[in-house]
Chain A
Amino acid sequence: MNAVSLPLVTGPSLDSFGLDTVWVVLLKAVLIFAVLVVLTLFNIWFERRVVARMQHRIGPNVNGPFGLLQSLADGVKLALKEDIIPTRADKVVFILAPIICVVPAFVTFAVIPFGPEVTIPFTDTVTPLQLTDMPVAVLFVMAIASIGIYGIVLGGWASGSTYSLLGGLRSSAQMISYEVAMGLALISVFLFAGSVSTSEIVAAQGDLWFGLILAPAFIIYVIAMVGETNRAPFDLPEAEGELVGGFHTEYSSLKFALFFLAEYINMVTVSALATTLFLGGWHAPFGIGAIWEGANEGYWPLLWFFGKVFFFMFIFVWLRGTLPRMRYDQFMDFGWKRLIPVALGWTVLVAVMRLITIEETFDRQSLLITLGVITGLLVVAMFVPSFGAARDEAETEEPDAPAKPAGAFPVPPMPATGAVRGAAPPLTFADSGPRPGPAQAEES
């Protein structure tokens, strides 16, 4: 046995990683790749079928059983299309961008735990159902995801088209903004698990899921993950009416397929991360583990894991089928002015609570109730329109603003009509004989 020692694996709790032989590592890597590609094909079909059902349609049902092979057919067709590189494109970056986008999408899955330690069939090799783990696994996912954003920015820039550039900037601004809220939501999980490694976070959720005890962090994460993956209702970078296709407007054939692949893998990745961090990872749900001993052993955890991932995928599709697209400024306001402050406040709360629990300064019961009330108020405050807007409206209702005191700082005069917000003033038209326009057209 020639053990391959991965340099990143340290610490006694991560001991089960880094002991695999080369062929086991290769097998796992190839399996993850294959699973992700097949999952992408499946998810496209799944999304089309579910959203069709929500819109009282049937969806693809012709090719293969239940239309399952439709995405494969579409994928082959896409690959065989003409590959166009615009003349104004920066060729090197144009070709590089989809690759930069898709490689990190695959790499992040290396640290996602699919299950506990299992025996590989037909051998007596025991290995965890996870390619590798490291003390900073979740941070690793965030880091690699931030490299993936480069693909989008560069793809948008290299196309040499305004639509692409604006779409690329929009996507990346959105992804970076929502990554902040996402990271803040994760901190409370780290505090409770006492670790940043994915396998240890899953192990810490044997009894109680973090999604239940850290519900606000879970909600923030779920909102941020939809924003992070550029999905409806946050799919502003692909707002067709404004930007054609966003950053991939100029892409065609296989290069476009790579962007498409990356988007769907990213959806699976954030879903898998949510499963791992908040829904107990591969642990059996609903207390099945308590009734049936074998539920958390062998290959059964794969079922629970993928079940939870598909639950999130369904939420993605559900959102797309239900909600209209948000406006960009409202979306950014929501991210920076609501989501991030709430996440920050929640992090401070959790840190305080954690310290008090460890040092046992106060009675825990009363403390939990107080914190619950405060959190509830914060969540309610999130949906209240901001005070600034209310005050502005109140100001505009006054007919004439008070005159400036003498000797005030010279500023340009306000427009004669004053600041207008809220309802538009009633329209008044000058009486100038017969109206032009349609009336005239009728005459002639």
Chain B
Amino acid sequence: MIAFWVLAPVMVIAALGILFVRKAVHAALLLAVVMISLAMLYAALEAPFLFAVQIIVYTGAIMMLFLFVLMLVGVDASDSVVETIRGQRVLAVMVGGIFAVLLGVIVGQAGIGTAVGLGAANEGGNIEGLAEVLFSQYVLAFEATAALLITAALGAMVLAHRERLVPRETQADRAAARVRAYGEHGDHLGPLAAPGVYARHNAVDTPALLPDGSPAEQSVPTVISNRGTGRPSPSYRDVDRVVGQLQSRRDDQDPATDTVVEGSGSAARGEDA
């Protein structure tokens, strides 16, 4: 009973939390808390096998799948309150009311007291007792469930299967394409320069500087360069400033070497202008 009075408030608070938290991932987490608490209740009720299976199957596998989907879909924003199915709310309230009545009746029937018959059920070991019941009395139901689950798994695979239309691009294909591009257009053969490596910053939106001082446009990820269109990116201004500094320093030393720096500088600004 101690376990119950400790776990029950935790479970109720977590269950209410599922209803009231904003983020879907938080709700999933709280559901995991409820499931683990339930497993602990099983353990306190001398059902250790059920305790382990509850955590392995529900918390470890099913809940994890939920989390995967939530994270990949990225349901960060609050949910839309527009009804997609007509009369959904009315139906929900009705069904919820029926469920509440059912729950009330069941709880009313149940007596509150110590559990009875646990010792007899666990005689000869918990796992052994469970196996005895499962594989003798309920073996047909067990097999039918197994068949159902396998059918469902196969169905999921068939539904998700897709014929491949184009041959899969292998590493050799990509290498060949690269060399071809190099031969035909003179594209750089190696990997792209990392952003910011030779520049004054190491931020991803700052292009690397090539040995001649011009920025390597390719080094900025396309996502960022696409997003940054319309306004001159600050990094380019920095590049310009460096080029300007270099220029002024060279002006002081030897005015004749201007041309090189200027040429690369205009190449750098070509995109912005």
Contact = CB atoms under 8 A, between A and B. Distances in A.
Contacts, number: 127
A135 B127 contact: yes
Interface residues of B, number: 48
A64 interface: no
Contact of B183 (A11, A136, A147, A427): A427
Contacts of B26: 92-93
Interface string B22-50: 01011001001000100100011010110
Interface in A135-193: 135-136, 139-140, 142-144, 146-147, 149-150, 153-154, 156-157, 165, 168-169, 172-173, 176, 179
B46 A10 contact: yes
Interface string A112-153: 000000000000000000000011100110111011011001
Interface stretch (A215-223, A353-361, A411-419): A411-419
Given A90-B23, A427-B176, A440-B186, A165 B71 contact: yes
Contacts of A142: 52, 56
A423 interface: yes
Interface in B133-187: 163, 165-168, 170, 172-173, 175-176, 179-180, 182-187
B16 interface: no
Interface string A1-17: 00000011011000000
A371 interface: no
Contact of B49 (A136, A168, A173, A432): A136
Contacts of A144: 55
Given A93-B26, A423-B172, A424-B176, A143 B55 contact: yes
Contacts of A143: 39, 51-52, 55-56, 59-60
Contacts of B67: 150, 153-154, 157
B10 to A, nearest CB: 15
Given A93-B29, A169-B71, A420-B167, A176 B61 contact: yes
A7 B163 CA distance: 54
B49 A176 contact: no
A385 interface: no
A80 interface: no
Contact of A169 (B32, B72, B182): B72
B197 interface: no
Q: Give the size range of A's interface with the partner.
A: 35 or more
Contact of B60 (A146, A157, A419): A146
B167 A135 contact: no
A414 B165 CA distance: 7
A7 B44 contact: yes
B172 A154 contact: no
B68 interface: yes
Contacts of A92: 26
A432 B125 CA distance: 83
B125 A10 contact: yes
A185 to B, nearest CB: 15
A144 B55 CA distance: 8
A154 B63 CA distance: 12
Nearest to A420: B167
B3 interface: yes
B119 to A, nearest CB: 9
Nearest to B165: A412
Contacts of B127: 135-136, 196
Given A10-B46, A93-B25, A169-B72, A153 B172 contact: no
B122 interface: yes
Given A7-B3, A11-B126, A90-B23, 14 more contacts: A7-B43, A8-B48, A93-B25, A93-B26, A135-B125, A136-B51, A139-B52, A153-B71, A154-B67, A157-B67, A176-B61, A418-B167, A424-B176, A437-B186
* Nearest 4 Cβ contacts at the A-B interface: A146-B60, A437-B186, A436-B186, A139-B52
Interface of B: 3, 23, 25-26, 29, 32, 36, 39, 43-44, 46, 48-49, 51-53, 55-56, 59-61, 64, 67-68, 71-72, 122, 125-127, 163, 165-168, 170, 172-173, 175-176, 179-180, 182-187
26 contacts: A7-B3, A7-B46, A10-B122, A90-B23, A135-B49, A136-B126, A136-B127, A146-B56, A146-B60, A146-B61, A147-B60, A149-B60, A149-B64, A150-B32, A150-B64, A153-B68, A157-B67, A169-B68, A169-B71, A172-B68, A173-B68, A421-B168, A430-B184, A435-B183, A437-B187, A438-B186
